[in-house]
Structure 1
């Protein structure tokens, strides 16, 4: 029986290898008509795969039509994009990221003209009246001072150098026994985690908002490519080591989008995983194959081409074409398939209309592992903007769930019980 299983696995591996070799051979050779067709498909697969793992500059895809002064201050007229027509509080970055404004509620919306008028709550930098285009973001604040909090600028030793981070203390008198480490998403920065800091402080946690490889602040990886969590988790492990060296006894990881995938890998692979008390993941990538298939379909990429792209990321032969220094094991990061292996209490917050990272795998993970995983669906928030559309609910849900996880355990003699009790006491 074992021999048959092994033979089947070897046959499958051979088939996978041959499929990948043919995909790459079609791209490289392509002399005949059939070869040219294969080459075209393979070239598209290469392009698709490289797009997934290559850091890219933000596109200023939000049109700014006018800035006017209303009765209650500045207002901005924007093209009515799907993001700009969601009520809530957001950021508009412009002038190549040098300008930043906090955009508030919708004043009026004209479907006929495809425009939306919104309040401008604050302009942090730049001249908004000069802006013609920008990009929309859920990272609402520019720095801790903008939410009235003092922060220490610290550096964390990572592969290739030092990564800057913000350390925001819960109390000035002494380090907290439990630290929250905020892990931002793909194409974002540590600004993303500022939305969670007040909740962490209410639970008496110090907050460490980190940067990691290829995010524009931390040292880049040698290959300049995202590992989709398979490499970035080492920078989170370095952040945990920093926290432990500075007084942390336990850790709560917060992760957004790819930051969720990174946090799951950290909880799985880190030598400090026993210190990770809980995960709070917002719109996380639970299954990269699902996300890539979704994006292939959205971009009208044929299924087989999308599959070739996935195979190139995971196969050693694909490295020359993708630029990766090592293959990315997408299967190892499929937490739908590995649901029962997740042994860290996890809260998943995910909007059901997320068209960037579909919510289905989050719901599936919770269904397959209800002992460890709690799923909290939102509506109308798109991707990683659950806090922005309903901050009161987001903070209430996270606070209540974490308070239960951080409560002292029943065994009073258990090591760390006093620290956990201190970490569970809210300040307000």
Structure 2
């Protein structure tokens, strides 16, 4: 049985072993969650969206065709969207009716998919290229980056102008994301270069095969700016969606070519990865206390300094006139981060115009309010690059 002193020592040892074991399990569990979380963030394979919704068939009339979709948070969103499925795509308009778990939307072009087809609503709207989508002539060009050639679309200008627009899509996206803004940039007389960057389809992979959230991707944007300069550009307008905004922010902060930027447009940009990760954790039912763990693991895997991305705490030295769009229903990048940047703009001496779009999901400000989006973008372009003139 042992003496009372021996039993006490054994009891303390048991408690110590239990506490240490629980701590090891807790740390291991937190690390495991952090690893999973960082993988969702950094691994390009996890950035491609699936087909979460279901089409229920065609409806409407021959002159006003509609499509029926199973009701979800996605399918009942307002505005104009792309509808994509395996082997097909179409454009759909606003919601016509909702009842009995079904959402009816206007068909703007294309043919509705067959009943029970898995589908996805896309903010990009178009899945093709400038010629097919809008009849705009373009060239497929290559931008020489430090990792190799990256494909880009080049749409020539309608006027003689040395200011180019360079459009940068978001994480896991493609150049089709930039198509919504391309016609208006073209109408403003700007040559437009819609770029790809490392880990995009057709572009070089990063050495570790991971996204770096803008920390290295800005080098590819710098290569695109240099390409524009080699073709005669003296100034550039940078246009970034989502992580494309983080890439633009890092370019402004770190590139020696930042002085050539005359204007910036940001659409639901990542202006703080920490706040974005907090929102993503909440979406997954995880405590925000795990965000530092995810950042630590991501830093270890990809050598990332998350503080560097916070444009309020660490604004770039170069702060051109900026137009910032964000939707109040964004569940991917927090609208509050854009509000914080807008509120700090005067203190940061950053000429920034903020446009908040009620009810718009992530990068969906254009989709929900095309007229307002075009009006604000047009006013900004006129104030920063001037009214378009006819080329001679």
Shorter-chain TM-score bucket reads: 0.7 to 0.9
The aligned residue for residue 373 of structure 2 is 394
Distance 1:197 1:377 in 2: 21
- Structure 2 residue aligned with 1:245: 230
Q: After superposition, what is the alpha-carbon deviation per residue over 1:106-136, rounded to whole angstroms, capped at 9, x for unaligned?
A: 22112xx221011222229xx8227611222
1:46 to 15, 35, 39: 35
Q: Of 251, 254, 263, which aligns to 1:269?
A: 254
Summarize the Cα distance change of 1:389–1:144 in structure 2 as closer, same or farther, 3 Å threshold.
same
Q: Quote the residue 1:143 is aligned against.
A: 129
Which is greater in Rg? Answer: 2
Q: How far apart are residue 147 of structure 1 and its match?
A: 1.3
Q: Which moved more, 1:225-234 or 1:129-138?
A: 129-138
Aligned counterpart, 2:69:
78
> Cα offset for 1:72?
2.0
Q: Deviations over 1:342-374 (max 9, x none)?
A: 522111111122121111121111221234211
Q: Report if the CA contact (8 A) 1:42-1:305 is conserved.
A: no
User: 3-state SS of the aligned residue for 2:224?
Assistant: helix
Q: Which residue in the other structure is 2:101 paired with? A: 114
Whether 1:348 and 2:301 are equivalent positions in the alignment is no
Task: Output the CA distance in 2 between the equivalents of 1:226 and 1:350.
Answer: 23
Alignment of 1:227-376 (within 5 A): 227-314=212-299, 318-319=300-301, 324=302, 327-339=303-315, 341=317, 343-370=319-346, 371-376=350-355
Alignment partners' CA distance in 1, 2:139 and 2:116? 32
1-side partners of 2:337 and 2:308: how far apart?
15
Residues of 2 paired with 1:63 and 1:123: CA distance?
A: 17
User: Which is further off, 190-199 or 81-90?
Assistant: 81-90
3-state SS of paired residue (2:29): helix
Matched residue SS, 1:75: strand
The answer to whether the Cα contact below 8 Å between 2:253 and 2:315 also exists between their aligned partners in 1 is: no
1:37 to 14, 26, 34: 26
Task: State whether residues 327 and 335 of structure 2, in contact with CA within 8 Å, keep that contact through their aligned partners in structure 1.
Answer: yes
Report the 3-state secondary structure (helix = DSSP H, G, I; strand = E; otherwise coil) of the residue aligned with 1:88: coil
Cα shift at 1:202: 2.4
Asked if the contact 1:287–1:361 (Cα under 8 Å) also holds between the matched residues in 2, the reply is yes
CA distance in 2, matches of 1:131, 1:179: 45
Distance change >3 Å, CA 302–CA 363, structure 1 → 2: closer
User: Aligned-pair distance for 1:161?
Assistant: 2.1
For residues 26-50 of structure 1, what are the alpha-carbon distances to aligned partners after superposition, in whole Å with 9 as ceiling and x for unaligned?
xxxx993331232112101111112
Structure 1 gaps, min length 5? 1-29, 408-423
> CA separation in 1, counterparts of 2:70 and 2:193?
36
1-side partners of 2:330 and 2:40: how far apart? 20
Which residue of the other structure, out of 94, 119, 124, is the alignment partner of 2:85? 94
- Contact 2:57/2:113 (CA < 8 Å) preserved in 1? no
Mean Cα displacement is larger for which, 341-350 or 236-245? 341-350
Q: 1:156 to 1:341 in 2, by over 3 A?
A: closer
Larger mean CA deviation between 300-309 and 198-207 belongs to 300-309
Q: Give the direction of change, closer, same or farther, for the CA distance of 1:131–1:144 in structure 2 (3 Å limit).
A: farther
Residue 67 (structure 1) aligned to one of 58, 62, 69 = 58
Asked if the contact 1:296–1:306 (Cα under 8 Å) also holds between the matched residues in 2, the reply is yes
Q: What CA RMSD, in Å, does the superposition of the two structures yield over aligned residues?
A: 2.0
TM alignment of 1:168-187, pairs within 5 A: 168-171=155-158, 176-187=161-172
What are the superposed Cα offsets for residues 266-292 of structure 1, whole Å, 9 maximum, x if unpaired?
122122111111110000011100000
In the TM superposition, what is the alpha-carbon distance from 1:104 to its structure 2 partner? 1.7
Structure 2 unaligned residues grouped into runs of 5+: 1-18
SS of 1:311 mapped into structure 2:
helix
1:425 to 375, 388, 392: 388
1:67 to partner: Cα distance? 2.5
- Provide the rounded CA distance (Å) in 2 between the counterparts of 1:88 and 1:201: 23
Matched, 1:133 2:118: yes
Contact 1:104 1:119 in 2 (8 A): yes
Counterpart contact for 2:55–2:115, Cα < 8 Å = no
Which residue is 1:58 aligned to?
A: 49
Matching residue of 2:9: none
8 Å contact from structure 2 (residues 148, 204) kept in 1 = yes
Cα pair 2:274 2:291 within 8 Å, conserved = no
